[in-house]
Structure 1
Amino acid sequence: MKEKLDIAIVGATGVVGESLLELLESKELSVGKLVLLASDRSLGKVMYFKERSIKIQDVATFDFSSVNVAIFVAAADASETFVPKAISAGCKVIDASSYSRSNANIPLYVENISTEALGQSAHIAVADSSAAIVSQVMTAVQQVTQINRADVLVYQAASGAGREAVEELVKQTVHMMSGKGREDAPRELMPATLGFNVIKTDEAYDQQLASEVVRLTTIDAGSVMVSSAWVPVIYGSGFMLHLDLAEALREEQLSTAINAIADLSWTKEVVTPADQAAGKEQILVQLAQQHPHNAKRIALWCVADNIRKGVAANILSAVSALQG
């Protein structure tokens, strides 16, 4: 019988924390004590796990030595403050923030790719949701042939920026659907109004995504470029992967490679992030086009739930691997 893990989740009240709890409840993981932590703003809030009510505790006063696994799904500044404390207390740390991902010395984890990271460090970084999804698809293709170049377009759902970004998008949508102007729509987080709009992300974020994809796929850094934009969708991101392959592949070869990886599924149906991906743990992939004059150049369209599949499922995969 697997040893029960005593787990603390830092950032439990956020969109990733909620999704993580839902998945944790549905998986056959042996959990002993479960502690939900957040900032003092969330004190007194109650969340539920397997019909048990659990009160949110203040991360600032929590004794990490009382658990053996600490999962961080809060902002990077919270990880910067509390990850070292958790490690000092003897916890195995799984951090989904940019604090850990940006450090090349910390193993970067994605399910189906990097299980070896778990045995090497007490501190594990979980890849950005977009990098995780893209890298799993590219890794499947690499089982058949080498990828010489990858140009990736990311259409990122608002939930990738957290609960406040989701709430802001909803308020903007209601505001404009009520006949009010875009110019006075409520906006605090994004550089422009996201409602009924598309907003380019900043260059630093795209470069960080590219660096994670390079680490996970071992493709040459000069051969990977990522460009992304925020889109007015709450859950579910879309990805267009333009790949230059070492050899031409038939669609049947691509579909076999994709379907061979757990939770990846090849489809010929019309798929969108909001309709087919949101709330699910699959990455749906299809051939968007094969270049008419160069069969080695292909475009793959992929959709997945950026929170549930892109982050929460990766975290639980890491937790499951810790149990052996």
Structure 2
Amino acid sequence: MPETIDIAVVGATGLVGEALVELLEERDFPVGTLYLLATGESAGKSVAFRGRNLRVGKLSDFDFAKVRMAFLSTTADAAVECSGLALAAGCSVIDLSGAALAEQAVVALPAANADVLESLSLPARIAAPCAPAAEVAEVLAALRDVLDVRQLSVTACLSASALGREGVQELARQTAELLNARPLEPKLVDRQYAFNMLAQVGVVDEQGHSALERRMAAELSSLFPALEGALDVTCALAPVFFGDALMLSITAGAPLSLDALQAALDAAPGIERVDDDYPTVIGDAQGQDSVYVGRLRLGLTNSCKLNLWIASDNVRKGAALNAVNLGELLIKHYL
């Protein structure tokens, strides 16, 4: 393992980009020189790292030959362009944008399939799953020795931060307008979001599925091939600033033991099981590095069915920490 490695963070001024930088410092990641990059007006801003304020450079001006690893927390279009440049320059890429999935990149999550990195040739392009898919996958990975999944249904209640900083700002603005009895003017979404539940996240296709729902299904199927064609995903938008809350309904191939399921969750690193209660984003998960699980119960009439509830910090745990963990594995074993 090298003493240090030069790294780039693309999208460093976004919510996940900022969390990436914080975690690189908190976890004493072996960073030599850290290059922070962004597009548009975000270039030129400063971000704190290890007691210094680092200026954010323009992505269009950057030479990826300067670094050996890049985290891409940006739009899919920008990720496609700069990942090609990075790989050509010998720089490995951890892509959080979702774009890499369409190009048959390896989808990896440390808790689920860390061994997949062994088959990679360098420089590598690794697709990090979106936050809600990562949170579901971590729980499935903890249960796979005691649960033969035949069918999975996920209902994901996502926060404003799933839409990025603009989503948080939209929720805050709408909330202020309503509380101050001003006329509501939806901008980022097409209707009242504050104090409301929206039944979809983004536009839907001709079959009624959103891009995020399809991405979650594809990433979960990649991480757990047995789920191919055996899962359903619904994403809704909750009037919460940060954090994901998800309900899982899992059908197994044989009757389940609740004691065995609880023991498997208790033994899994990165999972916190809440017994005789249920976790919430605000009370438990926000700012934490674990996925919180509660309300474990078998089906009302079917002992092959398990229902459970998940709460997780989508920005920190679901996205940034999993990406940093992938970077740590890549450095330790391959760079």
Q: TM-score range by the shorter chain?
A: over 0.9
Summarize deviations over 1:160-206 as a string: whole Å, max 9, x none: 1111111111111111111234xx33x32223332111112231321
Q: Which runs of 5+ in 2 are unaligned?
A: none
Q: Does 1:245 pair with 2:252?
A: yes
Q: Give the alignment's TM-score, normalised by structure 2.
A: 0.91
Summarize deviations over 1:110-169 as a string: whole Å, max 9, x none: 121122333414111100111111011112221112011111100011101111111111
Tell me if the contact between 1:199 and 1:230 (Cα under 8 Å) persists in the aligned partners: yes
Q: Does 1:255 pair with 2:254?
A: no
Tell me if the contact between 1:287 and 1:298 (Cα under 8 Å) persists in the aligned partners: no
Query: What is the rounded CA distance, in whole Å, between the counterparts of 1:71 and 1:144 in structure 2?
Result: 34
Aligned partner of 2:127 in structure 1 is 125
Q: Which runs of 5+ in 1 are unaligned?
A: none
Aligned partner of 1:319 in structure 2 is 327
Q: Does 1:8 pair with 2:15?
A: no
Instruction: Map residues 1-324 of structure 1 onto 2, 5 A cutoff.
Output: 2-103=2-103, 105-119=104-118, 120-121=120-121, 122-181=124-183, 184-185=184-185, 187-201=186-200, 202=204, 203-205=209-211, 206-268=213-275, 269-324=277-332
Query: What is the rounded CA distance, in whole Å, between the counterparts of 1:32 and 1:123 in structure 2?
Result: 21
**Shift of the alpha carbon at 1:288?**
4.2
Distance 1:285 1:177, change over 3 A: same
Which residue type is aligned with residue 273 of structure 1? V
RMSD: 1.5
Query: What is the rounded CA distance, in whole Å, between the counterparts of 1:144 and 1:215 in structure 2?
Result: 20
Which residue type is aligned with residue 10 of structure 1? V
Q: Give the alignment's TM-score, normalised by structure 1.
A: 0.94
Query: What is the rounded CA distance, in whole Å, between the counterparts of 1:315 and 1:267 in structure 2?
Result: 25
Tell me if the contact between 1:118 and 1:318 (Cα under 8 Å) persists in the aligned partners: no
Summarize deviations over 1:72-93 as a string: whole Å, max 9, x none: 0011111122110111111011
Question: How many percent of aligned residue pairs carry the same amino acid?
Answer: 31
Query: What is the rounded CA distance, in whole Å, between the counterparts of 1:157 and 1:101 in structure 2?
Result: 23
Which residue type is aligned with residue 204 of structure 1? S
Which residue type is aligned with residue 157 of structure 1? S
Tell me if the contact between 1:267 and 1:286 (Cα under 8 Å) persists in the aligned partners: yes
Query: What is the rounded CA distance, in whole Å, between the counterparts of 2:150 and 2:61 in structure 1?
Result: 50
**Shift of the alpha carbon at 1:58?**
0.4
Query: What is the rounded CA distance, in whole Å, between the counterparts of 1:204 and 1:169 in structure 2?
Result: 21
Query: What is the rounded CA distance, in whole Å, between the counterparts of 1:117 and 1:158 in structure 2?
Result: 32
Query: What is the rounded CA distance, in whole Å, between the counterparts of 1:32 and 1:55 in structure 2?
Result: 16
Tell me if the contact between 2:160 and 2:242 (Cα under 8 Å) persists in the aligned partners: yes
Which residue type is aligned with residue 306 of structure 2? I
**Shift of the alpha carbon at 1:21?**
1.2
